[in-house]
Amino acid sequence: IADRKNGDLRLMMKEFHYADIAEIADELEVEEATYLIKLLDSEKTSDILAEMDEDMREAVLNNLSVKEIAGELEELDTDDAADIVSELPKDIVQKVISEIEDKEHAKDIVDLLRYDEDTAGGLMAKELVQVNENWNVLTCVKEMRAQAENVTRVHSIYVVDDEGKLKGRLSLKDLLTTSTKTHIKDVYIPKVDSVTVNEKGEEVAKIMSKYDLEAIPVVDEIGRLVGRITIDDIVDVIREEADKDYQLAAGISQDVEADDSIWELTRARLPWLILGLFGGLGAAAIMGGFEEMIAQHAILFFFTPLIAAMAGNVGVQSSAIIVQGLANDDLKGSVGNRLWKEMLLALLNGLILAILLLFFTWIWKGDLSTAMAISISLVAVIVVAGIIGTFIPLFLNQRGIDPAIATGPFITTSNDIFGILIYFWIAKIILGI
Amino acid sequence: IADRKNGDLRLMMKEFHYADIAEIADELEVEEATYLIKLLDSEKTSDILAEMDEDMREAVLNNLSVKEIAGELEELDTDDAADIVSELPKDIVQKVISEIEDKEHAKDIVDLLRYDEDTAGGLMAKELVQVNENWNVLTCVKEMRAQAENVTRVHSIYVVDDEGKLKGRLSLKDLLTTSTKTHIKDVYIPKVDSVTVNEKGEEVAKIMSKYDLEAIPVVDEIGRLVGRITIDDIVDVIREEADKDYQLAAGISQDVEADDSIWELTRARLPWLILGLFGGLGAAAIMGGFEEMIAQHAILFFFTPLIAAMAGNVGVQSSAIIVQGLANDDLKGSVGNRLWKEMLLALLNGLILAILLLFFTWIWKGDLSTAMAISISLVAVIVVAGIIGTFIPLFLNQRGIDPAIATGPFITTSNDIFGILIYFWIAKIILGI
């Protein structure tokens, strides 16, 4: 690339898949990537741009003229084109759109811009094959051929009525095996799953993977067919959703990657650390309140990290399993039952751990009553931590808040404080101080 | 169901999608579910069984005769059938297989049983449409019709040579637009992505989602076409993989759900808690070693939960972002660079947090030198925690161990111990004790 050997490079790139070139482009300097994009023809570069990393794409598009951007959009499916347009600076969007030669295509892109990114409307593409129920098979086949030009992969043929309302779908098999004069009305399958434009992306993913669908039609509020969502876009939604939950559990907000700048990473990580800091200050304040015990029972203070760690671990475990159950929609039964079960589970784990702890502490310090006090407190702390860990995500979910924020630092911090408080309080009672 | 109103029930169930009935069946008692399965016809029940929860399916299959199970398998695609057979008790597998009337189908199922569940071979189905390169379009269309009978969804038509080796694919469009006498050899597309039977499921998922494929052919070691994997199975792989990483990060091993028994949940959670317990004992031992400081500087002991929490949080944050980067294959650059970046990041976060801490501790206790000692230690602890959190997953990955185990309790526990050790050590130096 450095040598600008246009001919060789063009030949080489011809062999590569656009997803591979996008990966290479992400590695390059902005000027080099721009040069590469300008070199190749827009049929390929449009796909490369769509696959590239957001930051890199933005930088490259900045180096392209309005006309060049419009040329790229022309080649893309409406959903990918709309995604790129939504990232462009506001002042040039208008210009880019007006440069698109295919006015139908431009109109579709503008239509898609109205929808929120995370809804079915934001995920769908306008490209689809639809036929009118009043047509006969012959007209239908002719129309389909024309429509299929614009559609990369025909998944289903959707049947609509005169008002554009979705009526059902048509199987390719039936179409090929019935006489050409039959009306579509008589052969279509009236059962078809669909989602409305405002459905959340997450819900669409659930529906499509539950029913093993490869494409789903999208209808507007009054049932008119407006687009379709294909499974490859849903795979991205599933991945993003999983990544987001994973990051929240680890105390990282916003969508960051290891290769983002230190500043972006700090913005995603620091707030959770500050939360932890205040939690730690709270714990310190609690321990300060029990200062008078330090002379006689210094050993109690040595075990605070253990208590805090166990409270945190149990809390994260129990909340994670609830968050996951909620995300996969396989949580059944009442909240009461669930809390009861978690209590039994925490009690069982707590007792096993307490016996281990008792044994080691007794051997170490030879002081049975202190060892007993610490172990009994541990059981109580674990049970409370388990119940908090189960309750908080269920409560947040009921309030319509994403329960995923309840795992990670949030639950660890609150359990640290509660755990240490319970620990000193019970130890105080048992040791009779 | 309790009333055994067969007719009504059958009619009602006819309206439901099999995925919905499977969900209902999961909620029922085993006898009720068995009754339901026996009531409906096997075309539908086979799909219901394939969608049901594993534990429930096992229980229901226990109540069915060998002949009934064979009947269900007959209706299923080979990949789903093989999954069910692999769960059956060993002693009846032979009997069930021999009861399957379609011998070709039975042979395919047995073939699939050879492959490991997590490989391309374990994911693929035998149902696909293939044509010989030496056929002409007419023969091809005839053969395809026959083959398509067994295939729910035709994604691609694969082209093989006389030895069964995969040569390329055929587009339906081309097939419909070329003369019937053309040889397939002259129209097929020689470029086709494929995977070998031993490829890991995770890798297949990466390839399919990178290239936006909806089906991928699977070849054996010498390039013969043996099956194909469709995107709906890959969606499950992606979900499972994400769930597994999420659980590991939360300290839950094995694949458990909120509705599993207390015993199963304990087995998945207790080992990590025991790890945490030993970590806590280690921390207690370290603090015991600094016991002489307790009289003069009790406040240092109050801050141990804060130090431990911060070390744990930073460790989890930095390891999670590395684990995710590794999983998504978007980690570039050298290990050295990555450690350097994390160090700068941790230093930045650490300094901000230390200033906050300094401010609060100073106000609270009015003792600047102790406040300084605690804050400076915090910076050191955070930097070390960040470096450990970055290094361990990279190291595990290089060793071929799943880096996902490096998040969660593993990293928290080791960082707790290191953090507390560094903290007391630095505080001791600064305070000149």
DSSP assignment, residue A101?
S
Give the integer Cα–Cα distance in Å for A208 and A229. Answer: 10
* Contact assessment for residue B331 and residue B322, using Cβ atoms and an 8 Å cutoff: yes
Same domain, B275 and B400: yes
Q: Is A276 at the interface with chain B, CB within 8 A?
A: yes
CATH (domain of B328): 1.10.357.20
- Which of B173, B208, B230 lies at the terminal end of a domain, its last residue? B230
Residue A247 lies in a domain: no
CB contact under 8 A, A277 and B212: no
Q: Which residues of B touch A319 (CB under 8 A)?
A: 250
CB contact under 8 A, A273 and B173: no
pLDDT of residue B314: 92
Does the pLDDT value for residue B3 go beyond 70? no
Same domain, B114 and B133: no
Give the integer Cα–Cα distance in Å for A191 and B81. Answer: 27
pLDDT of residue B353: 93
In Å, how far is A98's CA from the nearest CA of chain B? 30
Give the integer Cα–Cα distance in Å for B307 and B310. Answer: 5
Cα of B225 vs its chain's centroid, Å: 26
Give bridge partners of residue A200 from the DSSP assignment: A119
Tokens of B349: 């976060």
Does the pLDDT value for residue A338 go beyond 60? yes
Which A residues in the span 343-402 are in contact with B, Cβ-Cβ below 8 Å? Answer: 344-345, 348-349, 352-353, 356-357, 360, 364
| Tens digits of residue pLDDT in B325-367 | 888 777 777 788 888 888 899 999 999 999 999 998 888 877 8
pLDDT of residue B63: 84
Share of chain B above pLDDT 90, in %: 16
Give the integer Cα–Cα distance in Å for A331 and B27. Answer: 11
Does the pLDDT value for residue A5 go beyond 70? no
CATH (domain of B37): 1.25.60.10
Q: Is A189 at the interface with chain B, CB within 8 A?
A: no
Structural domains of chain A, count: 3
- Chain B CA closest to residue A317: B250
Encode chain B in three state secondary structure: CCCCCHHHHHHHHHHCCHHHHHHHHHHCCHHHHHHHHHHCCHHHHHHHHHHCCHHHHHHHHHCCCHHHHHHHHHHCCHHHHHHHHHHCCHHHHHHHHHHCCCHHHHHHHHHHHCCCCCEHHHHCECCCEEEECCCEHHHHHHHHHHHHCCCCCCCCEEEECCCCEEEEEECHHHHHHCCCCCEHHHHCECCCCCEECCCEHHHHHHHHHHCCCCEEEEECCCCEEEEEEEHHHHHHHHHHHHHHHHHHHCCCCCCCCCCCCHHHHHHHHHHHHHHHHHHHHHHHHHHHHCHHHCCCCHHHHHCHHHHHHHHHHHHHHHHHHHHHHHHCCCCCCCHHHHHHHHHHHHHHHHHHHHHHHHHHHHHHHCCHHHHHHHHHHHHHHHHHHHHHHHHHHHHHHHCCCCHHHHCCHHHHHHHHHHHHHHHHHHHHHHHCC
Q: Is A257 at the interface with chain B, CB within 8 A?
A: yes
Q: Is B31 at the interface with chain A, CB within 8 A?
A: no
CB contact under 8 A, B274 and A353: yes
Give the integer Cα–Cα distance in Å for B193 and A93. Answer: 37
Residue A240 lies in a domain: no
Same domain, A225 and A307: no
**Neighbouring residues of A432: CB distance < 8 A, sequence distance ≥ 6:** none
Does the pLDDT value for residue B255 go beyond 80? no
Average pLDDT of the segment spanning A204-231: 88
Same domain, A173 and A302: no
Q: Is B294 at the interface with chain A, CB within 8 A?
A: yes
A298-302, B186-190, B389-393: least confident range: B186-190
* Contact assessment for residue B377 and residue B427, using Cβ atoms and an 8 Å cutoff: yes
Q: Which residues of B touch A212 (CB under 8 A)?
A: 19, 232
Average pLDDT of the segment spanning A14-41: 80
- Chain A CA closest to residue B307: A280
Give the integer Cα–Cα distance in Å for A43 and A55. Answer: 22
Residue B243 lies in a domain: no
CB contact under 8 A, B238 and A243: no
Give the integer Cα–Cα distance in Å for A272 and A269. Answer: 6
Q: Is B251 at the interface with chain A, CB within 8 A?
A: yes
Same domain, A419 and A329: yes
Same domain, A133 and A115: no
Triad B305, B248, B312: Cα angle to 5°: 20
| Tens digits of residue pLDDT in A351-384 | 999 999 999 888 887 788 888 989 999 999 999 9
Q: How confident is the model at residue B2 (pLDDT cuts 50, 70, 90)?
A: low
Single out the residue of A393, A402, A404, A389 nearest to residue A341, CA to CA.
A389
Q: Which residues of B touch A258 (CB under 8 A)?
A: 321-322, 324-325, 330-331, 338
Same domain, B266 and B354: yes
Q: How confident is the model at residue B419 (pLDDT cuts 50, 70, 90)?
A: very high
Q: Is A324 at the interface with chain B, CB within 8 A?
A: yes
pLDDT of residue B332: 72
Residue A400 lies in a domain: yes
CB contact under 8 A, A309 and B412: yes
CB contact under 8 A, A309 and B245: no
CB contact under 8 A, B246 and A212: no
- Which of B118, B141, B166 lies at the terminal end of a domain, its last residue? B118
Does the pLDDT value for residue B1 go beyond 60? no
**Neighbouring residues of B337: CB distance < 8 A, sequence distance ≥ 6:** none
- Chain A CA closest to residue B341: A262
| Tens digits of residue pLDDT in A31-43 | 888 888 787 777 7
- Which of A75, A98, A119 lies at the terminal end of a domain, its last residue? A119
CATH (domain of A158): 3.10.580.10
| Tens digits of residue pLDDT in A285-301 | 898 888 888 878 888 88
CB contact under 8 A, B243 and A324: yes
In which residue are the tokens 């090929």 written? A176
Structural domain range at position B60: 6-118
Average pLDDT of the segment spanning B306-324: 90
Same domain, B104 and B146: no
Bin A70: left if φ > 0, else alpha if -120 < ψ < 50, else beta.
alpha
In Å, how far is B92's CA from the nearest CA of chain A? 30
Same domain, B418 and B372: yes
Residue B254 lies in a domain: no
Give the integer Cα–Cα distance in Å for A378 and A385. Answer: 10
Same domain, A115 and A136: no
In Å, how far is A223's CA from the nearest CA of chain B? 21
Same domain, B179 and B276: no
- For residues A46, A47, A51, A55, the Cα torsion angle rounded to the nearest 10 degrees is -10
Residue B251 lies in a domain: no
Three-state DSSP class for residue A136: strand
Does the pLDDT value for residue A79 go beyond 90? no
Residue A243 lies in a domain: no
Give the integer Cα–Cα distance in Å for B31 and A338. Answer: 24
Residue B177 lies in a domain: yes
Same domain, B307 and B327: yes
In Å, how far is A363's CA from the nearest CA of chain B? 12
